[in-house]
A and B are shown apart, each in its own frame.
Chain A
Amino acid sequence: MAEYKLELKGICKSFPGVKALDNVQLSLRPGTVHALMGENGAGKSTLMKCLFGIYKMDAGEIYLDGQKIEVNNPDEAMKHGIAMVHQELQPVPARSVAENLYLGRFPTKNIGPIKLIDHKTMYAETEKWLKEVKMDFDPKAQLGTLSVGQMQSVEIAKAVSQQAKVVIFDEPTSSLSDNEVEALFRIMNDLRDKGVTMVYISHKMDEIKRIADDITVMRDGTYVGTWPAAELSTDQIIAKMVGRELTNVYPERDSKPGEVVMEVKNLSSIHSNSFQDVSFTLRKGEILGFGGLVGAQRTELMEGIFGIRGVASGEVYMHGKKVKIKRPIDAMNAGIGLITEDRRGNGIFGCLSIKDNVGVSIYNKYLKAKIILDHKKINSIVDESIKKLSIKTPSMNEHIANLSGGNQQKVIISRWLANDPDVLIMDEPTRGIDVGAKHEIYEIMNELASQGKAIIMISSEMSELLGMADRICVMCNGKLTGEIDQPEEMTQARVMSFATKF
């Protein structure tokens, strides 16, 4: 038997403008759980997607039991006995457990010349595989009626049923309850005893210490090293994950935070697994960073403040006055703006012009005789912001879809500036934007802060967070786990330790 069950060597993968993986390696000993660690964007998921054939790698080799293999698509990966339990489950919720388990490979029987699905076999087999992962529910149950943890066990059962020898778990516990995590670990231990090799991606340090045999750390798309899990302390792992020099791409700014503009008190979501009991204050002219791992509920918190998501309890004060925010329009009237994380999903209107994209939030402000839009005034506002934020476009009537990501983001910023808010919440303001445009966005943010606007910036990029924020709140698992306001304390290690305080 080869020393390693699976080896990845010299994997490289580029996306337009980004080198996501640069000569990465990974060696899995047979029958072990191998933790793959790194910050958001370190390239963990990308590496696993290359292994699983979802992405085509630019260079690199995969060896299974010492034999070189080719993986061009997930189907081929599965034929080699590699299975993946995805970070975001991709099931068909409206169909039964059994149908999901056998999706794309239904057992069939022939009746004369007609091929039919063999339901009896399918249900019987499903029951068997569910027992295998110590789960006991009806194979005919509709998948959507199960909890997230149960759905995950269906995914695992699917992997097991395919006789997988290597199973990849991509952040499987990010949306599980404690009990479900325990159940998952029992299954994983079980699989390990049967000789299955597993890759485990997670940010949760205590879980890693419990379940992992080996740890590989990645950083910025490169390989840092592999160590036996027992040899590393939590602090050492964090140090290895973040240990990099910050490049000085962040423009300097003298920050003089003024009086408190906004205060959030004990805000809790209507969902118990989302943000709970969050309190913070925001001052005039400051940039308040919100750090945390993916799934820390930062976006949900901001959308809760803005009236997009349900809030069960807690208050928001603007300029010392309590404000009731039920819908986004209430937040806007209170002087809050929100630039959402998912620009395409709930930011831009792709089929509309730049003018309409900027104008949409001010059309109720500039009216003649209370009915007719004051196009002249609106045009001048739009024109001005195109100039001010140097949006590269032939005219304001250009469709926003024809602009680059950076320019689209500037259009969205213009939309909110046209509304003149006191507080601007920017959720991942530079996601999917090239380096040059990023710098411009940072300069716009600094400019706004020095004009006295208060900015909340959610960022999953550690360097951006440390480089831009005057003060950092860190969230983990829906709770505010730390606040860092002394410049000398703003270090990556400190943010990470708060961010992993589960």
Chain B
Amino acid sequence: MAKTNQQKVKDFLINNGVIIVMFILVIYTGLTSNNFFTSNNLMNILMNMSSRLVIALGIAGCVITAGCDLSAGRMIGLGACISGVLLQRIDYSGKFFPDMEPLNVVVVALIAMAICAAFGTVTGFFIAYLSVPPFIATLAMMEIVYGLGLIFTGATPLGGYVKEYTNVANGKFLGINYLIWIAIIVAIVTWFIFNMTRHGKYMYAIGGNPQAAEVAGVPVKTTLILIYMKAAAMYGLAGFMLGAKAGGASVQTGYGYEMEAIAACTIGGVSVTGGRGKVSSAIIGVAVFELLKVALQYLGVDANAQYVAIGIVIFIAISLDIRKYIAKK
């Protein structure tokens, strides 16, 4: 079908509407406030984006299979607490394990990921083998993880981290914070999984048409379990990252981030009906979200009103996104 140039322009504007509006908003903010386009501010935004991106990339896998993951926020809290208790200074008065030497940071990150992954595997098992809808299964896991986190920490906030841990956020390599490097590596690995492995292809197939996937010999159940396991590991990592950035953590760390991550994914073009979505979708979605927050801040919009603005952006973004697919029928 040949399309006129006018139509093409119109399609482009509609298909990328939110991103274009975002750009305009960012440029406007930059021009009206004098310290928006500074390397310091840019680095700040990227730091904020980094853990959000890791969460969004985890949740993207679930959303692509037409699922979701409500347990993400609480898993982040658990990951942050596990990292916290293992990385407190030996001389810190409120130390959780008073006599334990702090472990190596990399080892701690892996421990946090592994523990969260174990919980994710359980969620995946219920979804894949017992056909519990993802919404409900992850809701149940959200409660369990939160409860266990409270019992484990006694609901007290953690602090007094070793320098190596806070350095994960503050330290730099090639002028870029480690936190951002972690996000970049996670994005590359996720891209690789989505595009270069059969697991990724199976994920898209299950999201596109689970019945057809079954008939085509796709191991639907194991793939689903892997997706929820992998996602949970990423929440654990995000918890580790957030703890490093804040220099402290509690079970409340990451609360509500799952909703923002799902919203970011959909804004970027991950379809909640399944089968569609890329790593770039999650990056765009998270970028839009964070830039919007910062820009509104710079423009002096009331902090409470920012929530309203974010809600409106979600409404518009998703309506435009859905429109692309409806038009194709």
Measured CB to CB, the residues of A under 8 A from B are 306, 308, 327-329, 331-332, 338, 340, 345-352, 356, 359-361, 363-364, 367, 371-373, 375, 399, 401-402, 415
Contacts and interface: CB of A to CB of B under 8 A. Distances in A.
Contact of A372 (B197, B219, B325, B328): B197
Contacts of B201: 356, 359-360, 363, 373
Contacts of A373: 196-198, 201
A372 B196 contact: yes
Contacts of B205: 349, 352, 356, 360
A346 B208 contact: no
A351 B215 CA distance: 17
Contact of A308 (B208, B214, B325): B214
B15 to A, nearest CB: 15
A415 B209 CA distance: 15
Nearest to A402: B328
A348 B212 contact: yes
B208 A351 contact: yes
Given A345-B212, A351-B275, A360-B216, 6 more contacts: A332-B217, A350-B208, A351-B325, A360-B218, A363-B202, A367-B198
Interface in B42-61: none
A231 B288 CA distance: 77
Interface in B151-207: 196-198, 201-202, 204-205
B208 A349 contact: yes
B203 to A, nearest CB: 11
A-B pairs, top 7 by smallest CB distance, nearest first, are: A349-B208, A346-B211, A363-B198, A351-B275, A329-B217, A332-B217, A360-B216
B211 to A, nearest CB: 4
Nearest to B208: A349
B276 interface: yes
Nearest to B200: A373
Contacts of B275: 349-352
A373 B219 CA distance: 17
A346 B276 CA distance: 18
Nearest to A331: B217
Contacts of A402: 328
A345 B211 contact: yes
A351 B276 contact: yes
A371 B276 CA distance: 22
Contacts of B328: 399, 401-402
The CB with the most chain B CB atoms within 10 A, among A338, A350, A360, A375, is that of A360
A260 B62 CA distance: 45
B215 A346 contact: yes
The CB with the most chain A CB atoms within 10 A, among B209, B211, B212, B275, is that of B212
Contacts of A371: 196-197
Contacts of B216: 328, 360-361, 415
Given A332-B217, A352-B205, A352-B275, A347 B212 contact: yes
A425 to B, nearest CB: 11
A349 B215 contact: no
Contacts of A340: 215
A338 B215 CA distance: 8
A338 B217 CA distance: 10
Nearest to A345: B211
B295 to A, nearest CB: 33
A350 B325 CA distance: 11
Contacts of B196: 371-373, 375
A327 B213 CA distance: 12
B271 interface: yes
Nearest to A329: B217
Contact of B219 (A329, A348, A359): A329
Nearest to A342: B211
Interface residues of B, number: 24
A395 B65 CA distance: 26
B204 A328 contact: no
A467 B327 CA distance: 40
Given A351-B271, A352-B208, A328 B202 contact: no
A351 B271 CA distance: 10
Interface in B121-170: none
Given A363-B198, A373-B196, A349 B212 contact: yes
B213 A360 contact: yes
A329 B218 CA distance: 7
Nearest to B211: A346
A350 B209 contact: yes
Contacts of B204: 349, 352, 356
Contacts of A308: 214-215
A146 B157 CA distance: 56
A123 B85 CA distance: 63
6 contacts: A349-B205, A349-B213, A352-B275, A360-B213, A363-B201, A373-B198
Contacts of A352: 204-205, 208, 275
A331 B215 CA distance: 10
Contacts of A338: 215
Contacts of A328: 214-217
Contacts of B213: 349, 360
A331 B216 CA distance: 10
A399 B204 CA distance: 13
A233 to B, nearest CB: 43
Interface string B214-245: 11111100000000000000000000000000
A168 B271 CA distance: 43
Contacts of A332: 217
Nearest to B218: A360
Contacts of B211: 345-346
A372 B193 CA distance: 9
Contacts of B197: 371-373
A363 B202 CA distance: 9
Contacts of B215: 306, 308, 328, 338, 340, 346-347
The CB with the most chain B CB atoms within 10 A, among A332, A348, A373, A399, is that of A373
A328 B328 CA distance: 31
A373 B194 CA distance: 11
Nearest to A375: B196
Nearest to B221: A327
Contacts of A364: 198
A44 B137 CA distance: 46
A399 B219 CA distance: 23
Contacts of B276: 351
A498 B212 CA distance: 32
A349 B207 CA distance: 9
Contacts of A415: 216
B138 to A, nearest CB: 23
Nearest to B325: A351
Contacts of A401: 328
A361 B208 contact: no
Contact of A348 (B209, B217, B271, B274): B209
A308 to B, nearest CB: 6
A332 B208 CA distance: 21
A306 B214 CA distance: 11
The CB with the most chain A CB atoms within 10 A, among B201, B212, B217, is that of B217
Contacts of A327: 217
A328 to B, nearest CB: 5
Nearest to A306: B215
